[in-house]
Amino acid sequence: MKEVSIIFICLDNYHLFFERFYASAEQFFLPHNKDKKYYVFCEQEHEEFKKDNVVFCKVDKPMKTSYKNTEVPDITKIKLNKFHYIRQHWDKVKEGNYIFYFDADSVIKKEILRKDFVSKGKPLIGVLHGFSQIRVGAGKKGLRFESEPKSKAYVDPERYDVSEYFQSCLWGGTVDQVKDMTDKICEWIDHDESIGHRNKYNICDEIYVNKYFVERKKDLHILGPQYCNPGEGWSKKRGVKLSGRWGEAIISHECAAQFNTEKLLMKDEEGEQEEQAKHIKLNPSRILGWSRVINLHKANYEMLKGFRNNNPKAHLLISCYKGDDFQYMAERFDADYEFVNDSIFVKWKAGRRIAACGSVLKYFETITNACLKYRNKADWMVLLEDDVECFNAPQKIPSGASLLGPMGPGYKPELRKYLEPRAGEKYCWRYSGCGGSLLNMKDWIDAHEKLEENKWDEFCSMDKRLVYGGDIGVSFVLQNAGYGVDRWDEFTGHWNEKKENYTFAHGLKKYYGEKLTEKDLEDILSAKSSGHMHVKRGDKFNSIYVKN
């Protein structure tokens, strides 16, 4: 399929729907076709239309006098004008080999390939109605086809197959077929308006589309109702959770005219502006996961697996401090790897855990080195530790903070007194920075540079935890330079029964002291990112890393 023309009509507030439709279509609709062009019909050009593959088509918005004697958009007339708008800009739209129309309140949810949408020998495409009763003509209103013989939309049930009713939210076909459809429906609508006919159910353009389809069933490629599933709109209107009774949704069609979902979108847009002022959305490709390891192969394997599965675009660095060789694990999880043979880092036991500790100042230096190494590739560093569970990718964080995570205890009174004037309005009396915390790399580099290391013993005398605590130390360095520390709501406790809905938790301590299983080993040895595994299986490897 060569160039595809996508028609999107969005007068009045319906222009608010374009950005989300465009994003969904770019991702899921004919994803291998790079020649998609969007023809957007509106009474004025909006900022969201200014894209390389979007063509703005200016049309007039019909108005009417309301019962309050004010001028308001004539929604019915907008729907009836749909095909006239297309004919008005036909010289632009006809450039595609295929033309597809989508209602503005459509969102594509799953991948749609050419074979799903186009059938050889059938130049016309239509979709069955999303509501089952309307689709089969059941319910109080019965058949929705036009029943008035004077109307050009009239369908004689004795002559045509009326067992299936179509929805006009999605249709398309070859250029010639769509041109014929546009011309005929324009003629039919003009005739009915000239005789003053109005469909009894005020269905507007849809009855004309159905007339055109039933006359050409042999040329029609029929899409199922999963291509216009109304479940999300129905649920939004009622403020309830979407249930499974609506079935599969390849394309969600919200039926905004019935459910007023554009008003919800207007509220969402206003709320999003407020949200943007309060929060920062994270770019998944600008995140660095930094893991410091010594041993604990099983715990680190589970931690890295969770992080990589949920953050496929993130950068990942594994730093091993004078411990076991973890290069085989770096290869498995597509990570950079460094072995630091530094005697400053010693081993100490915390329960069943053996962790990297020693000089906190040296710890700061390693953070800075990692930040400098990736400063052109990433903005935020995830401080990964071997007990960190990862369930989802980080989404957003409160603005104004440079370190975010679970909040630890408060500083000692003397250190609080020292930090408060230096942190100013960003002062936080509690610290963060444990595994699963997010660190702004640029701010850290600046804060570390400003740290007066010759006064470190003096700072430690104010709170002895600075002697050995990396988390309190990182918080201190940032606060000392005037940077903020805050709680991150996407982090939760390991005890939370709904922790899978969050991003991080501390829940892998159960693997401390455990060895890799045979299943883990099979997964690790299947990695071929570097052509071969750095560590090959053997008796020595098994005895150290694999559970018997």
User: Per residue, what are the HEC states of 334-395?
Assistant: CCEEEEECCCCCEEEEECCEEEEECCHHHHHHHHHHHHHHHCCCCCEEEEECCCEEECCCCC
Whether pLDDT at 517 is above 50: yes
- Check: pTM over 0.85? Answer yes or no: no
Whether pLDDT at 528 is above 60: no
> pLDDT higher for 537 or 460?
460
Q: Are 105 and 14 in contact (CB under 8 A)?
A: yes
Whether pLDDT at 527 is above 80: no
Least confident of 45-54, 188-197, 466-475, 488-497: 488-497
Distance CA 482, CA 499 (A): 32
For position 521, what pLDDT does the model report? 85
Whether pLDDT at 350 is above 60: no
Whether pLDDT at 502 is above 80: yes
For position 127, what pLDDT does the model report? 96
Reported confidence tier of residue 347, pLDDT bands at 50, 70, 90: very low
Report the chain's mean pLDDT, rounded to a whole number: 86
Distance CA 465, CA 180 (A): 79
Q: For 224-266, where are the E strands, in sequence order?
A: 251-253
Whether pLDDT at 536 is above 50: no
Among all chains, which residue has been given the structure tokens 């394309």? 251
- pLDDT, one tens digit per residue, over 56-114 is 999 999 888 876 678 888 888 888 999 999 999 999 999 889 999 999 999 999 999 99
Reported confidence tier of residue 530, pLDDT bands at 50, 70, 90: very low
Mean per-residue pLDDT, 410-435: 89
Distance CA 425, CA 483 (A): 9
For position 231, what pLDDT does the model report? 85
Q: Where are the alpha helices (DSSP H) in 424-538?
A: 441-450, 456-462, 470-480, 518-525
Whether pLDDT at 138 is above 50: yes
Domains of the chain: 4-265 (3.90.550.10), 282-395+490-548 (no CATH), 398-436+450-489 (no CATH)
For position 537, what pLDDT does the model report? 44
Whether pLDDT at 543 is above 80: no
Mean per-residue pLDDT, 501-514: 89
Q: Are 73 and 12 in contact (CB under 8 A)?
A: yes
For position 74, what pLDDT does the model report? 85
- pLDDT, one tens digit per residue, over 257-303 is 555 555 555 555 555 555 455 678 899 999 999 998 888 899 999 99
Helix, strand, coil percentages for the chain (3-state, nearest 5): 40, 20, 35
For position 346, what pLDDT does the model report? 39
Residue 256 tokens read as: 């905004």
For position 352, what pLDDT does the model report? 39
Share of residues in the chain with pLDDT > 70 (%) = 86
Whether pLDDT at 306 is above 90: yes
Q: Are 448 and 477 in contact (CB under 8 A)?
A: yes
Beta-strand pair 71-73/63-65: antiparallel
Whether pLDDT at 243 is above 70: no
Whether pLDDT at 472 is above 60: yes
Distance CA 525, CA 332 (A): 8
Mean per-residue pLDDT, 376-381: 95
Reported confidence tier of residue 46, pLDDT bands at 50, 70, 90: very high
